[in-house]
Amino acid sequence: MRDAFHEELAAITDSLAEMTNLVASAMARATTALLDADLQLAESVITADETVDLLYHEIEERTFDLMVRQQPVAGDLRLVVTSLRMVSDLERMGDLALHVANVARRRYPASAVPPVLRATMLEMGQVAQRIVAKAGSVIASRDVNTAVQLERDDDVMDALHRQLFTALLDEHWAYGIEAAIDITLCGRYYERYADHAVSVAHRVIYLVTGEMPNVPAAPSSNSV
Task: Name the site residues for its own copies (rule: CB under 8 A).
Answer: 53, 56, 60, 64, 67-68, 71, 73-74, 77-78, 81, 84-85, 88, 91-92, 95, 98-99, 102-103, 106, 165, 168-169, 173, 177-178, 180-182, 184-185, 188, 216-218, 220, 222, 224
User: Rounded to an integer, what distance in angstroms lies between the CA atom of residue 214 and that of residue 60?
Assistant: 27
Q: In whole angstroms, how close is the CB of 48 to its own copies at the nearest point?
A: 14
The secondary structure of 35-104 as a DSSP string is: HHT-HHHHHHHHHHHHHHHHHHHHHHHHHHHHHHHH---HHHHHHHHHHHHHHHHHHHHHHHHHHHHHHH
User: Rounded to an integer, what distance in angstroms lies between the CA atom of residue 84 and that of residue 38?
Assistant: 34
For its own copies, give the closer residue by CB, 77 or 119. Answer: 77
For its own copies, give the closer residue by CB, 71 or 141. Answer: 71
Q: In whole angstroms, how close is the CB of 2 to its own copies at the nearest point?
A: 22
Q: In whole angstroms, how close is the CB of 169 to its own copies at the nearest point?
A: 6
For its own copies, give the closer residue by CB, 40 or 166. Answer: 166
Q: In whole angstroms, how close is the CB of 22 to its own copies at the nearest point?
A: 14
For its own copies, give the closer residue by CB, 77 or 141. Answer: 77
- Evaluate whether 165 touches 117 at the Cβ level (below 8 Å): no
Burial of 153 (0-12, 13-18, 19+ CB in 10 A): buried
Burial of 58 (0-12, 13-18, 19+ CB in 10 A): middle
Q: In whole angstroms, how close is the CB of 108 to its own copies at the nearest point?
A: 14
For its own copies, give the closer residue by CB, 145 or 172. Answer: 172
Q: CB-based contacts of 146: which residues, under 8 Å, 6+ apart?
A: 134, 137, 138, 201
Q: In whole angstroms, how close is the CB of 33 to its own copies at the nearest point?
A: 15
The closest of 66, 91, 95, 79 to 5, measured between CA atoms, is 66
For its own copies, give the closer residue by CB, 126 or 223. Answer: 223
